[in-house]
Amino acid sequence: MDQLAQRTQDAAAHKPIISFRNIVKRFGSMTAVDNVSLDIMPGEFFALLGPSGCGKTTLLRMLAGFEVPTEGSVLIDGQDMGETPPNKRPVNMVFQSYAVFPHMNVADNVAYGLKIDGLPKDEIKARVQEALDLVQLGPLAARKPDQLSGGQRQRVALARALIKRPKVLLLDEPLSALDAKLREAMRFELSQLQQKVGITFIMVTHDQDEALAIASRIAVMHKGAIAQLGTPSDLYEFPASRFVADFIGSVNMFEGTLIKDGADEAVIACPDLAPYSVHLPHSAPGSAGASVWVAIRPEKLNLHKNASEPPAVPDCPPAHNVARGEIKEISYLGDSSIFHVQLSSGQLLRVSRPNRSRYEQEHFGWGDTVWVSWAGSSPVVLLS
Amino acid sequence: MSDRPAPLEYNRLWPMRLWLAGVFFFLYSPLITLIAFSFNDSKRNIVWRGFTLDYYRKLFNNDELMLAFANSLTIALVTTILSLVLGALAAIMLWRFRFPLKGVIEGTLSLPIVVPEICMGVAMLLFFSRVVPWPHDLPWPLSLGAIIIAHVSFCFPFVAMVVRARLASFNKEQEEAARDLGASDWQAFRDVLVPHMKPALIAGALLSFTLSLDDFVITFFTSGPNTVTFPVKVYSMVRFSVTPEVNAASTMLIVLTVALMALMMLGQRKSNSS
Amino acid sequence: MALEKQSRAAFWVTVLPPTLWIAVFFLIPLGIVWAYSFGHNEGLTGVAITGTFDNYIRAFDPLYLQIFGKSIAVAGLTTLLCLIIGFPVALAIVFANEKMRPLLLLLVMLPFWTNLLIRTYALIAVLRTEGFANWTLAWFWNQGSTLAALVGLQPFPAYQPLELLYNNFAVVVGLVYVHLPFMVLPLYAALDRLDKSLMEASLDLGAGHLRTLFSIVVPLALPGIVSGVIITFVPALGAYLTPDLLGGTDSQMIANVIERQFKRANDWPFGAALSFLLMYATFAAIALRAYLTRGQPADGHGI
């Protein structure tokens, strides 16, 4: 992670390899992309993340040249791509369905782009071998696509695109067609591959785990616009809106009012948590009296056995950052357990707890009354 | 800029549009001209001299043509009913049962679809003149029997094809569910399978009606002097000359066909939405 | 499925009627034609089936071979023209938007549902000497003539109507007119099945549109193209009405010769032999299609 962040910073010093400038795309009366501006730096593994219909795929297809922006311009390496057709752009794409040509064998598929460029036969042969070795498909060169597994087809698509030595490689939901185990393995392989070839990768995905695991920087998209742009940890720990907080990971959300906002302390009253309130050891966005939302991740909540007094939270005044409720349900996930705690207000709280010992799950049972607490640094205060 | 077509929107390129317009002009201008000049107040079919319904009036007073029209409609109706029954049975047979010689029967059933019309016409001519001479002096509509039999022979395989395609999408578990809930074989067939087949039955009915109504070649070989159908009558008129009266007769048949097409489209839309 | 008593009855009820019908009213008639093709005329109306091959030998007389050759050439030319005209149409329909696509398909199919005789008649009205085609050409000719006079040139001689009807040209135009939907529909079905991202991938890898068409679209749509070609060729080969009404004395096709044997020349055995030769040619074409498109999903297009 630190290494990725470092690379991202290095990249920021250069000029962008991709620039979207005020891109608008309308299909009939529907606006798919709504005034997006975005710079992507050389060497990044960039992810466009969002739910289906958020405009992420449209953005990628405009980069490849398959869709024409209604307004705005796309620049690749400083050049406006305005009228440039897809076959003249210095980018290549790995399609969601992989789009491996079914009537050509693996080697012919990979060689296709070079044949079009009219390269000499010897060079094509050498580069095909090199590309196939890169994705570990060397022995399967003579196979037809229908004799390949899904993962192998994806490697063909990767080799076919990379052999053209594009300035940017575009990946449209690259892992969505694979089964869960393979998906995990391919995440790792994709980032390895990107480091090896040193090309900028731009990936579209709806899977937040995937984006967090692979990308060096992510743009979260919502309703055609960029909701937040940042590194994976930025997005997870410092979401800018309820949408981002909710879309990335799971979160407990409370509506409340900012009743005290000092330089190094803030207090928020949430009706669902009454009679207790939320205390922060730093200032909050917004001014006193503002309506805000408090978001807390399930793994940042602690469970305590029932007692007459609320547990003490370090660096926090008493009766703050605590809540009392009843365990309504426990989902045992193996490595951790999710406890659904119902507060007296009726709100359900999700608390995640690692199963560090083999008997950990026996500590709390269904129907137990428990205390929940959290550190002052855990909540995120959101205005929208 | 916003109106620039995307790379694969071939239909938005102007040469493509010009091509499409040209093709549709080629397909439709003769038909539209034909319809327009059925209302032209001139014997000559080329210059517009004003609107008239004279030729339609003449048409309705032309007893021979009206009889031919009635013959055609009767033949189409009876053919449709028989083809529907035979076609549906054939489809169910091929879909449901496995039996020896099934492949042979399946192949034979598709033969009438591919055999050239002229060969089929010749075969019917031989059959009805040498093997089962169909008396031409039978009372109407029995006199039409030979033509009806010939039409059913080439119509019902089409119905079978359409119904069978529909049956392929039938989820057999639905029928098993009906049996599980206490229905007999017959009840399950009536309550589950027939409703599933219904859109195909409607499509098949309209298909055989139009095929029968349109057929010229096979009828030409089977019809006698007293059993002239509409296309055979029009054929003899066309051989004679191009007259607005033929235009009017043709227009009537076009309108009938288009109306049937529209009915079928509506039926399909209804069954798609439900 | 076990054949219990009840379903045994159901089996016979479904099997017997269609099977008997096809046997009695289709196979027997065809069988008689087949038997006749091995016979010869006896007296005025009688036919003796003697097992002779004379009729087939006669069919290979240069006169009839030439008609066979001509029929194949005309049907082949028709098919080629339909392919050239129909391919862009199918391509445009496949890439039209959701609203336009059913409308365009309907526009292709509507003439197909219109009576063949009426369509042929409509063409006669357009193509004849005093028809619309000549009328339009004459108009342009006269405009051109006026224009020529304006710029000081000699006016053109008076317009001579083109002979557009009762010749081979008219037959080919008529056959293309009638068979175009036969070509467009299978092509549409094949192109529609094609994964569009394959075309995008080809463009993405640097190929132009023509290159993509010939190295990706055509090879992958080949079964559909073969289907369309044969579905068009077979009825065009056996066409009777179009050459009969639009053709001249030298544009008779095989079906017209067959008709003549039965209705005028009264040589039924020879007509029967010609019928079966036409049928064998048809079956050969269909077998070729089955062979070339083997392993492909059946075309889902209805007629």
Whole-complex ipTM? 0.86
What is the residue extent of each domain of chain B? 10-39, 56-273
Is the separation of the CB atoms in A324 and A369 below 8 Å? yes
Strand partners, A381: A294
With bands split at pLDDT 50, 70 and 90, how would you rate the model's confidence at A201? very high
Task: Please provide the DSSP assignment of B103-132 as one string.
Answer: HHHHHHHHHHHHS-HHHHHHHHHHIIIIIS
CB B44 within 8 A of CB C130: yes
Question: Would you call A64 and C200 a contact, using CB atoms and an 8 Å cutoff?
Answer: yes
- A322: helix, strand or coil: strand
Is the pLDDT at C217 greater than 80? The verdict is yes
DSSP letter for B269, please.
Answer: H
Query: Which CATH number applies to A2-246: 3.40.630.30, 3.40.50.300, 3.30.70.100, 3.40.190.10?
Result: 3.40.50.300
Give the single-character DSSP code of A78.
T
CB of A118 less than 8 A from some CB of C:
no
Given CATH 1.10.3720.10, say whether it is the number of domain C58-112+164-296.
yes
What class has domain B56-273?
A: mainly alpha
What pLDDT score does A1 carry? 45
Residue type, position B11, single letter: N
CB distance B210 to B154 below 8 Å: no
Q: Which candidate from A64, A87, A96 shows the least CB-CB separation from C207?
A: A87
Partners of residue A65 in chain B, C-beta under 8 Å = 7
Q: Which helix (H) or strand (E) holds A37?
A: strand A30-40
Dihedral pair phi/psi, residue A323, rounded to 5°: -155, 155
Q: Which of the four pLDDT bands, split at 50, 70 and 90, describes residue A288?
A: confident
| pLDDT at position A172 over 50 | yes
Q: Cis (ω within 30 of 0) for the bond into C88? A: no
Query: Is residue B51 a contact partner of residue B261, using CB atoms and an 8 Å limit?
Result: no
Q: Hey, are the CB atoms on B2 and A86 less than 8 Å from each other?
A: no
Give the mutation candidate from A24, A68, A88 for the B interface (greatest B CB count, under 10 A): A68
* Residues 4-33 in B contacting A (C-alpha not used; CB under 8 Å): 4-8
Q: Look at residue A8 and tell me whether its pLDDT is greater than 60.
A: no
Q: Is the distance from CB of C172 to CB of C77 less than 8 angstroms?
A: yes
A9: Cβ contacts below 8 Å, ≥ 6 apart:
none
Using the beta-carbon criterion (under 8 Å), do C107 and B27 form an inter-chain contact?
yes
**Measured between beta carbons, which residues in chain A are less than 8 angstroms from residue C95?**
none
User: Inter-chain contact C198–A99, Cβ cutoff 8 Å?
Assistant: yes
C-alpha gyration radius of chain C: 25
For residues B257 and B240, give the distance between their C-alpha atoms in angstroms, rounded to a whole number.
25
Percent of chain A with pLDDT over 90: 56
- With CA atoms as reference, report the closest residue to C237 among C281, C268, C287: C281
Cα end-to-end span (Å), chain A:
29
Partners of B6 on chain A (C-beta within 8 Å) are 66-68
- Residue C216 Cα, gap to closest chain A Cα (Å): 8
Closest CA of chain B from C104, distance in Å: 9
Q: Provide the pLDDT for residue B83.
A: 96
- Give the integer Cα–Cα distance in Å for A107 and A115: 12
Identity of the residue numbered A335:
D
Strand-strand pairing, A380-382 and A336-343: unpaired
Question: Which residue among C203, C219, C220 places its CB closest to the CB of A86?
Answer: C203
The answer to whether the beta carbons of residues C212 and B8 sit under 8 Å apart is no
Ordered DSSP codes for A337-382: EEEEEEETTS-EEEEEEE--STTGGGSS-TT-EEEEE--TTS-EEE
Distance of alpha carbon C243 from alpha carbon C236, whole angstroms: 10
Token reading at C2: 């076990």
Please determine, for residue B272, whether its predicted confidence score (pLDDT) is greater than 70: no
Can you read off the two tokens belonging to residue A63?
A: 């980069």
With cut-offs at 50, 70 and 90, classify the pLDDT of residue A3: low
- For residue C48, the model assigns a pLDDT of 80
Distance (Å) of CA C12 to CA A184, A232, B90, C18, C206: 58, 70, 11, 11, 61
Q: What is the pLDDT of residues A224-236, one digit of tens each?
A: 999 999 999 999 9
The overall average pLDDT reported for chain A is 89
What is A250-382's CATH topology? OB fold (Dihydrolipoamide Acetyltransferase, E2P) (2.40.50)
The chains in contact with chain C, meaning 3 or more Cβ pairs closer than 8 Å, are: A, B
- Asked if the model's pLDDT at residue C4 lies above 60, the reply is no
A168 DSSP assignment: E
Average pLDDT, chain B: 86
The arrangement of strands across the sheet holding A278-280 comes to: A278-280, A266-269, A252-261, A291-296, A380-382
Q: Which amino acid is at B189?
A: F
End-to-end CA distance of chain C: 33
Distance CA C21, CA A303 (A): 81
Distance in angstroms (rounded) separating the CA atoms of residues B68 and B85: 26
How distant is the Cα of A158 from the closest Cα of chain C, in angstroms?
A: 12
β-pairing, A336-343 vs C39-42, is unpaired
Closest CA to B124 of B142, B148, B101: B148
What 3-state class would DSSP assign to A33? strand
**Domain-by-domain residue ranges, chain A?**
2-246, 250-382
- In whole angstroms, give the CA distance from residue A37 to residue C49: 87
What is the model's pLDDT at position C130? 74
Dihedral sign, CA of C139, C144, C147, C153? negative
Q: What is the C-alpha separation between B80 and B112, in angstroms, rounded? A: 16
More confident residue, C60 or A6: C60
**Which two structure tokens, joined as six digits, stand for C224?**
């559909």
pLDDT of residue C213: 92
More confident residue, C131 or B114: B114
Band the pLDDT of C302: cuts 50, 70, 90: very low
CA-nearest residue to A69 within chain B is B2
Using CA atoms, how far residue B169 sits from B178, B188, C212, in Å, is 17, 17, 35
pLDDT digits (tens, 9 = 90+) for B189-241: 888 888 889 889 988 998 899 899 989 999 999 887 778 898 998 888 887 77
- Which DSSP helix (H) or strand (E) runs through B197? helix B194-214
Query: Contact A82/B2, CB-based, under 8 Å?
Result: no
How many alpha carbons lie under 13 Å from residue B245 in its C-beta half-sphere? 16
Mean pLDDT, rounded, of chain C: 87
Among the partner residues C19, C25, C276, nearest to B105 by beta-carbon distance: C19
What DSSP character marks residue A229? E
Tell me the three state secondary structure of residue B26.
helix
Amino acid symbol at B99: F
Residues with Cβ within 8 Å of B18's Cβ and at least 6 positions away in sequence, in order, are none
Say how many C-beta atoms besides its own lie within 10 A of residue B153's C-beta: 27
- Classify residue A249 as left (phi > 0), alpha (psi -120 to 50) or beta: left
A70 → closest Cβ in B2, B7, B8: B2
* Helical H segments across chain A, by residue range: 2-12, 56-64, 106-116, 121-134, 150-162, 180-197, 208-214, 232-237, 242-247
Tell me whether residues A88 and C216 touch, CB distance under 8 A: no
In degrees and rounded to multiples of 5, residue B135 shows phi and psi of: -60, 130
Distance (Å, rounded) from C-alpha C55 to C-alpha C42?
A: 14
What number is the average pLDDT over the span C281-285?
91
- The model's pLDDT over A101-120, given as tens digits with 9 standing for 90+, comes to 998 999 999 999 999 988 99
Q: Is B2 an interface residue toward A (CB < 8 Å)?
A: yes
Higher pLDDT, B160 or C48: B160
pLDDT confidence of residue A383: 86
pLDDT higher for C48 or C226?
A: C226
